[in-house]
A and B are shown apart, each in its own frame.
Chain A
Amino acid sequence: MPDHKFELLNAYLDGELNPQQHRKTEAHLETCEECRAELETLETLSGTLAEVPLPEFSPPEQLVANVALQLPRKPLKEPASRKWLEYGWWLAPIGLIATWAFISIYTVAGDLVGAASNLGLVENASIFAGNSTNYSALLGRFGLLDPSMLEWLVPSETFIRQFFSQLIWQVALAMLYLSWIAIWWVRQTRLGPKQQFGN
């Protein structure tokens, strides 16, 4: 007994199946009596619905006149909230890029100032210096780590912490930016690439 395709019959009737699905459904209908009967019922139903007539409405001129009587003088202005939402939407990627640029410049500047400080070219580099606790150094201070280990543990910890903090914010910004592009793309796809008007 063939598998029925009842769920596809509505779309088949409405011409909404893709060519491959259409061919498959057509082939199935040749062999399945129950699906053929169901399709026939749907066609009859469409015919029955089409029989229901429309009454004779007032002519468009009267509708135009009636509407005109009730219209305010001018269309309302676009709601301010919507306008700000629109501005916010387009400002979001600019903000993300600006944030990325700012943090990058700050980091590079910090590295340069740090290097200059190490060379004795700058005296007070504290504004760029991180003052977070280095746990390896702390453990070494309590004698829990061997000094030979500390030689490579302290710079390794500093490097790993800097690397991950850089990685995390860059990935976070990239994800936000990609999400914005994805939403923009979905909106464009849903609304259609061309600006079309009624047919």
Chain B
Amino acid sequence: MATISPAKEFSLITQAQKGDRNAFGELIRVHAQGVQSVVYRMCGNQQLAEDAAQETFIQAWLKLPSYRPKSSLRNWLYRIAVNTAIDMLRKEKRIIPNTIDDLNLVDKRPTPERSLVSAERSEIVRDTIIALPDTSRAVLILREYEDLSYREIADTLDIPLGTVMSRLSYARKLLKDKLSLQLELHAEVTYA
């Protein structure tokens, strides 16, 4: 991920707020990976995630004049990203999970068979995450994949700290219950 000093980012935001597209382009380069990660974890589909990431930055540009640098730009973008991903999923009215073949995964396993098993496991986990309620899923993703603190999640999603804790606990409990069953079934089918 491209990194940038807070002072440089502040300068880019100020320029972008005045209509400087190049400055906004720089901000996109810095935050592209984070936003793509959030929308993909929320949608579970690469194409939808690409569209959602694009839409997130368009929305960010439109809302930029009202952005106040009191909270981090990253967290502000994550908030837009989460809402955009949820909106896009609603518009699609269904979840379009990737097939394993669509996933351009880096093969870290020594054999194709093991790689396939790993990809299948990943697909099960990803689909189980996507089946979570939107609100709990957003909290889980920001915590597990973006490593945001509870306070940062509360600020990003504009919810109380206690709600972050309860939603995270709920999401993990649901995942634990669903995944243990799914992965057990998967293991039985794979190794039978």
Contact = CB atoms under 8 A, between A and B. Distances in A.
B144 A63 contact: no
Interface in A39-67: 41-42, 45-46, 48-58, 60-61, 63-64, 66-67
Contacts of A198: 4, 6, 9, 30-31, 72-75
Contact of A197 (B9, B16, B102): B9
Given A50-B144, A52-B122, A41 B28 contact: no
Given A55-B105, A56-B104, A199-B72, A71 B9 contact: no
Nearest to B70: A191
Q: Which secondary structure dominates chain A's binding surface?
A: loop
Given A76-B62, A197-B9, A60 B28 contact: yes
A50 B63 CA distance: 32
Contacts of B149: 16
B66 A63 contact: no
A195 B32 CA distance: 22
A11 interface: yes
Given A11-B165, A191-B71, A55 B28 contact: no
Interface residues of B, number: 67
B179 A45 contact: yes
A41 B169 contact: no
B169 A7 contact: yes
Given A191-B71, A198-B75, A67 B61 contact: yes
A79 interface: yes
A50 B140 CA distance: 12
A65 to B, nearest CB: 9
A64 B57 CA distance: 9
A75 B2 contact: no
Interface residues of A, number: 46
Contacts of A192: 70-71
B85 to A, nearest CB: 14
B135 interface: no
A183 B13 CA distance: 27
A67 B13 CA distance: 17
A133 interface: no
B176 A57 contact: no
Nearest to B2: A60
Contacts of B54: 63, 66-67, 70
Given A51-B118, A198-B9, A14 B73 contact: no
Contact of B168 (A10, A57, A197): A10
Contacts of A48: 121, 125, 179, 183
List the 7 shortest-distance A-B pairs measured between CB atoms, nearest first. A198-B74, A191-B70, A60-B32, A74-B19, A197-B6, A198-B72, A78-B65
14 contacts: A10-B172, A42-B172, A46-B144, A49-B129, A53-B105, A55-B46, A60-B33, A68-B21, A70-B54, A71-B21, A75-B19, A75-B61, A76-B62, A191-B70
Interface of B: 2, 4, 6, 9-10, 13, 16-17, 19, 21, 24-25, 28-33, 36-37, 40, 46, 49-50, 53-54, 57-58, 61-66, 69-75, 98, 102-106, 118, 121-122, 125-126, 129, 143-145, 149-150, 155, 165, 168-169, 172, 175-176, 179, 183
